[in-house]
Amino acid sequence: MSRRAAGAGQVQKENRERPRRSVGNAFRNKIRTAAVVAVLAVAIGLALAMLVANQAVGGKVQELNASVGTVLTVNPAGAQGFDGGGEPLTAAQTATAAAVPNVVSVVGTKALRLETATTASTSTTGTTRQQAGPGGGPGGGTSVTTNLQAAIDAGTLGNRNNTSGSTGSGSTGTAPTFSLPITATGIGAEVDTAGKALNITSGTGLGDYTVASTKALVGTTLATKNNLKAGSTFTIAGKTFTVAGIFDAGTTFGNNAVYTTLAEAQALAATPGELSSMVVTVNSMANVDAAKTALQAALGSGKADVTQGQRNLETAVSSLDSVKNISLVAFIAALGTAGLIILLIMVMLVRERRREIGVLKAIGARNRTIGLQFVLEALVLVALGSVVGAAIASFASGGIASALISSNSSTTAASQRGPGGGGFGGPGGNPFAELQLLTSVTASASPGVIAAGVAAVFGVAVVGALVPALLTARIRPIEVLRGE
């Protein structure tokens, strides 16, 4: 009994000391430990970087599909800036568009140009005139006066354009000081002209966007230029408006703008029921082409032009999907490599310590107890490798994602370029817009993604450590000791 009790006590002592011993075993050979950690760090770092790239690209694809990817723009047929013509769209056409299959929303817009009163007063045509200049949209817009100062300086381009358009009857040969107009848009819902929700940074929205209201939303740079904030007032065509909120469109030109309700803009332009354009949202990107064809047929080719918000978006999303798939395959491959490294290392360690395993078995240690010892040792190595690997991923994930996307965008550009090197994606295509979509992906190693990747690595490490340990633990102690 005393001998059995002594054996049981020895096993209990071994169980208590096993975690500490497992950690110590990982550092028996410091040079080998350093080499193993370095190799694991590279494999884990690559796996984490690929996971970060995959998540970033996946998020970008969802963003594109949820916004501009499902948006169609309807303009009056033949409308194209200074040279366009045609008849304006009407409110009745929005009902026709809304009845088209797969269309989930139709938002009408009315474009205005706000000119600073002191500048507009120098014009011989009065303070209110029809003009299809910049900011008026493809269908042209109505110019009215305001007391606001534009947030964008005219600069060389603005003055050059003004000079070229100011010659003619009544001109003295000297162009007056030019102030850029302010873009104003009457909108039927809280979205911008690309169909995306307005990013209101302070204040509130306009409430009911379909009724006339003296509330307005002002872009950030325009608000700063004119010292406006929520509750401030300004005038358009002599009418006082109150700033309900400040929005950020993300660009300098987009923030030199004002949004009013659709009915109010139509009243300011004295064109009730008329629209400058319509923003049509389709239920999914897969149905965009069919909805575009049906919408054009319903409205009539002689009445409206239907265009996709981003013509090359489908190609861009396809390229991003390719990057997403490549990064996922690379993540799995790197994760498998890390698991293989752990497996080989643990096979080597188990073979070195066969006698130790035999002794543990001889004193009554269970197979799972022996396996746990080697698993803990492997996890110590993986933990060290994960720390270094996470640091590598934090620095490398952005560069790896950019390299993958650049490679795919170059391939896409080559395949889309027309005969003789001219054109891109057909007439009206815009290579810079597509490349901007492809290269606007920002890959950052967020804690959540890194934690998910490390958890996957630890799971692989457990399997890699258990396999050799349990195979050896199944051998009878006498066979192990006899072979030593």
Sign of the torsion angle spanned by Cα atoms 205, 208, 211, 213:
negative
Query: Are 276 and 330 contained in the same domain?
Result: no
CB atoms within 10 A of CB 354: 16
Which residues have C-beta within 8 Å of that of residue 346, sequence separation ≥ 6? 374, 377, 378, 464, 465, 467, 468, 469
Task: Say whether both 157 and 257 belong to one domain.
Answer: yes
Q: Is residue 344 included in any domain, yes or no?
A: yes
Domain shared by 368 and 435, yes or no: yes
Of the candidates 445, 405, 233, the residue with the CA atom closest to the CA atom of residue 317: 405
Q: Which two tokens stand for residue 451?
A: 């934690």
CB contact at 8 A, 140 and 275? no
Residues 56 and 114 in one domain: no
pLDDT at 64: 63
Q: What are phi and psi of 476, to 5 degrees?
A: -70, 145
d(CA 239, CA 291): 40
Do residue 38 and residue 96 come from a single domain?
Answer: no
Establish if 132 belongs to a structural domain: yes
By the 8 A CB rule, do 334 and 43 touch? yes
Same structural domain, 102 and 190:
yes
Q: Are residues 121 and 264 both part of a single domain?
A: yes
Residue 111: strand, helix, or coil: strand
> What pLDDT does 232 receive?
94
Domain assignment of residue 229, yes or no: yes
Query: Which pLDDT belongs to residue 322?
Result: 77
* Distance between CA atoms of residues 192 and 211, nearest Å: 17
Last residue of a domain, one of 253, 276, 302: 302
**How many CB atoms within 10 Å of residue 157?**
9
C-alpha 277 chain-centroid distance:
27
Instruction: Give the number of C-alpha atoms closer than 13 A to the C-alpha of residue 139, restricted to the C-beta side.
Output: 25
State the residue range of the domain holding 414: 2-65+316-482
Tokens 């332009």 correspond to: 269
- Report yes or no on 450 lying in a domain: yes
CB atoms within 10 A of CB 117: 16
CA neighbor of 330 nearest in space, from 108, 26, 90, 46: 46
Residue 459 in domain: yes
* Residue reference for tokens 């923030």: 255
182 to 37, 117, 154, 162: CA distances (angstroms): 60, 12, 12, 15
Total of domains in the chain? 2
- Shared domain check, 98 and 61: no
Residue 179 tokens read as 């102030």
pLDDT of 255 = 87
Of 314, 78, 107, nearest to 194 (Cα)?
107
How do the residues of the chain divide into helix, strand and coil, expressed in percent and rounded to 5? 55, 15, 30
Q: Of 270, 302, 334, at which residue does a domain stop? A: 302
Question: For residue 3, what are the CA distances in angstroms to 64, 109, 258, 369, 381?
Answer: 74, 93, 91, 22, 38
pLDDT at 224: 92
- pLDDT tens, N- to C-terminus, the chain (484 residues): 455 554 455 555 555 555 555 566 666 677 877 888 888 888 888 888 888 888 877 777 766 665 556 888 888 887 765 456 678 888 889 999 999 999 988 988 998 888 887 654 444 333 333 333 333 444 455 678 889 988 887 667 666 666 554 444 444 444 455 567 888 888 888 877 766 778 888 999 888 888 889 999 999 999 999 999 999 999 998 899 999 999 988 788 888 899 999 999 999 988 888 898 888 988 887 788 899 999 999 999 888 888 875 555 566 667 777 777 888 888 888 888 888 888 888 778 777 777 777 777 777 767 777 777 777 877 888 888 888 888 888 887 777 777 776 665 555 544 444 433 333 333 334 444 444 445 455 666 677 778 888 888 888 887 877 777 666 666 666 665 555 5
What's the confidence (pLDDT) of residue 323?
A: 77
pLDDT for res 416: 46
Task: Confirm whether pTM is higher than 0.75.
Answer: no
Other Cβ atoms closer than 10 A to 95? 10
- Compute CA 42 distance to the chain's CA centroid, rounded to the nearest angstrom: 28
> Residues of 228-241 as b/e, b for ≥16 C-beta within 10 angstroms?
bebeeebebbeeeb
Residue 18 domain-assigned (yes or no): yes
330 and 188 together in one domain:
no
Element (H, E) at 467: helix 447-473
Question: Does residue 281 belong to any structural domain of this protein?
Answer: yes
Same domain, 149 and 273: yes
Task: Compute the CA torsion angle 330, 333, 334, 337 (nearest 10 deg).
Answer: -160
Q: What is the DSSP string of 260-295?
A: EEHHHHHHHTT-TTEESEEEEEES-GGGHHHHHHHH
DSSP per position, 82-109: GG---PPEEHHHHHHHHTSTTEEEEEEE
Query: In sequence order, which residues have a C-beta less than 8 Å from that of residue 401 and are 6 or more positions away?
Result: 49, 52, 53, 56, 57, 323, 327, 441, 443
Residues 123, 15, single domain; the answer is no
Tokens of 225: 């230029």
**Radius of gyration in angstroms for the set of CA atoms belonging to the chain, rounded to a whole number:** 34
| Residue 308 lies inside a defined structural domain of this protein | no
Same-domain check for residues 49 and 194: no
